[in-house]
Structure 1
Amino acid sequence: MSNNQPSASSKCVRVCQNRACKKQGAAKVLAAFKASVVPGVTVTPTGCLGQCGNGPMVLVLPDRIWYSGVRPYEVPMVVEQHLLDGHELKKML
């Protein structure tokens, strides 16, 4: 792979599993990301991301892109457009 091409291998998706996000369905969001395997992308549950009330919160690193109010049915869009194509989903930021 050329150094000029974006690599998914360095990405990490963190899905908040703290109380407020869990009440809003974060466990299902985490499960949807884990079911959408992208080679080289790590999906991890995390504690509070400090955005209580906006959840479920998803943080993509190292891009430092925050997605709020993520629903399980939106995960395939994030995977396809952000993780695979490198384009953030502006309407979910």
Structure 2
Amino acid sequence: MTSPSATVAARRWLVQVCCHRSCDRGGSAAVLAAFREHQSSTILIAESDCMGQCSAGPTVKVMPGNTWYCRVTADDVPRIVSQHLQGGEPVRDRLHPRFHPFDPSL
């Protein structure tokens, strides 16, 4: 039987960072640079054009799972990498509420 952490570790991730005008003004270049420090054979980092979430930027989308993060800063990146990409658990306080409505039972 495979452990959950082994399954997460074997997964390949795509992290898209919006770098269009609004997100760029919010610091997406620093977010992109911070994610690129963690790029590996299992974590691909990609610069994205507008994702349509300008009021909530910088916006980051993680695939698989279609997980959307909003108002991401470079300081958030290590936690997203360790908790989500390495640990399999999305970072709840950065989840975009449009795509991930708050569930108080969690």
Taking structure 1 as the reference length, the TM-score comes to: 0.90
Q: Percent identity?
A: 36
- Shift of residue 62 of structure 1? 1.3
Partner of 2:42: 40
Q: Which ranges of structure 2 fall in alignment gaps of 5 or more residues?
A: 96-106
How many residues are aligned here?
92
Give the ranges of 4+ consecutive aligned residues of structure 1 lying more than 6 Å apart after TM superposition. none
CA contact (8 A) 2:8 2:86 kept: no
Alpha-carbon separation, structure 2, partners of 1:51 and 1:17: 11
Larger-Rg structure: 2
Q: Letter of the 2:46 partner, please give it.
A: T
For residues 32-87 of structure 1, give each alpha carbon's deviation from its aligned partner in whole angstroms, at most 9, with x where no partner exists.
00012344110000001110110000000111000000000110000000000000
Partner of 1:12: 14
Matched, 1:25 2:24: no
Q: Which ranges of structure 1 fall in alignment gaps of 5 or more residues?
A: none
What SS does structure 2 have at the residue aligned with 1:33? helix
Taking structure 2 as the reference length, the TM-score comes to: 0.79
Alpha-carbon separation, structure 2, partners of 1:92 and 1:20: 18
CA contact (8 A) 2:8 2:85 kept: no
Alpha-carbon separation, structure 2, partners of 1:19 and 1:69: 14
- How large is the Cα RMSD of the aligned pairs? 1.8
